[in-house]
């Protein structure tokens, strides 16, 4: 008497799920691909704008010289040139680090990570706000536009479904 006559035999849920095998990763929609490439474009444009600083080194040094004279400073031209060079190098290092992080977040978005979508949205909002308060180059405006396009694409219906499915345990 191993079976009860009153209860039918049903497979338990754990056995059915285990025998089904691994669940395939959800298909990546075109909106996520579009968002990814928009964020890549934004990064490239931002890098191009940051690298324009090399072209403007003389203007930076002249601005520092003028400020030094107006304030009655005692810095020599060599010291001002050194300050301009250090400023340029530090700025380029920061721009490259930010670009690397931005690309990391874009790749994580492409993999369906919701936290990356949120980080990219916050960074894009900060970028747009900075355009309202500071003078920027054409590259800066185009980078912000590309990032806004990326954010919009990352929050469309297919993108939301993909990120929700990618976040489920497999």
Domain boundaries defined on the chain: 30-165
Among 39, 11, 14, 25, which Cα is nearest to 152's?
39
Tokens standing for residue 108: 């994580």
Task: Give the pLDDT confidence score for residue 53 in this predicted structure.
Answer: 75
**Run of H or E including 137:** none
Count of CB atoms situated within 10 Å of the CB of 116? 20
Q: How do residues 88-125 score in pLDDT, each as one tens digit?
A: 889 889 989 999 999 999 999 999 999 999 999 999 99
124-165 per-position pLDDT tens digit:
999 999 998 877 788 989 999 999 999 999 999 999 999 999
């Amino acid at each position: 008497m191993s079976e009860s006559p009153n209860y039918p035999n049903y497979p338990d849920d754990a056995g059915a799920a285990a025998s089904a095998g691994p669940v395939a990763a959800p298909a990546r929609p075109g909106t996520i691909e579009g968002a990814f490439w928009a964020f890549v474009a934004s990064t490239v444009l931002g890098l191009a704008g940051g690298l324009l600083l090399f072209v403007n080194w003389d203007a930076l040094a002249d601005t520092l010289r003028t400020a030094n004279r107006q304030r009655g400073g005692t810095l020599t031209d060599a010291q001002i040139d050194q300050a301009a060079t250090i400023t340029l190098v530090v700025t380029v290092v920061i721009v490259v680090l930010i670009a690397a992080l931005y690309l990391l977040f874009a790749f994580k978005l492409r993999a369906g990570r919701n936290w990356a979508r949120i980080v990219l949205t916050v960074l894009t909002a900060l970028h747009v706000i900075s355009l309202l308060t500071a003078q920027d180059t054409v590259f800066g405006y185009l980078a912000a536009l590309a990032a806004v396009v990326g954010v919009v694409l990352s929050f469309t219906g297919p993108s939301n479904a993909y990120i929700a499915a990618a976040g489920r345990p497999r």
